[in-house]
Amino acid sequence: MYAVIRAGGKQYRVAPGDVIRVEKTGSDNGTVQFGDVLAVSGKEGEIARPQSQARVVGQVVEEGRADKILVFHYKRKKQYKKLRGHRQPFTAVRITEIAFDGQSFTAPELPKKEVKPKKKAAPEAAEAEEVKAAATAPAKKKAAKKPASKKSAGKKK
């Protein structure tokens, strides 16, 4: 089953489990509900235009900004150049549920990632390593001054 939704002025074809990038949206508790559902597919080959019973629910996966786009204005022979950059903010949403006409299609749960604790070096150990590195490093010798070179005499005529 899939649905066609409108978000941020664009239309997206989504199915349960899909991850889409939409314009930045505010979310409460990490969930987003898309109210503007344009079409829903039912059985094979059936597409319906829902009145108000359809809903699409998603979970926020990530928020960020897209890659930089350079906008360059230029007029030849007029010494006019202007360069601007732009990064569009986005929200990545994983579609978790599509509900229509008493039916609800949900995405399978993702396995939770195990978080391994990072090992931190003790502050005393870090200081000890710095002292040891400084002691084993060869001492710098002062460079000997070179004698000034003589200037060549100019040519005589």
pTM of the entire structure?
A: 0.62
* pLDDT for 132: 64
* pLDDT for 126: 60
Which uninterrupted H or E stretch holds 152? none
Closest CA to 53 of 30, 66, 35, 41: 35
Q: Are 92 and 19 in contact (CB under 8 A)?
A: yes
Strand ranges, E, within the chain: 3-7, 10-14, 19-23, 31-34, 37-41, 47-48, 55-65, 69-75, 80-86, 89-100, 103-106
What CA–CA distance (Å, rounded) separates 22 from 12?
9
Task: Give 6's contacts (C-beta < 8 A, 6+ positions apart).
Answer: 12, 34, 36, 38
CA distance readout (Å), 72 to 65, 75, 78: 20, 10, 15
Q: For residue range 30-71, list pLDDT tens digits in order.
A: 899 988 888 888 766 667 777 667 889 999 999 999 999 999
CA–centroid distance for 51 within its chain: 35
* pLDDT for 110: 78
**Residue 72 — φ and ψ, nearest 5°?**
-120, 120
What CA–CA distance (Å, rounded) separates 8 from 88?
12
pLDDT averaged over 10-residue windows placed end to end, the chain, 157 residues: 90 93 86 89 70 84 94 96 95 91 81 73 62 62 64 66
* pLDDT for 54: 84
Q: Are 14 and 1 in contact (CB under 8 A)?
A: no
* pLDDT for 80: 97
User: What single-letter amino acid sits at 153?
Assistant: A
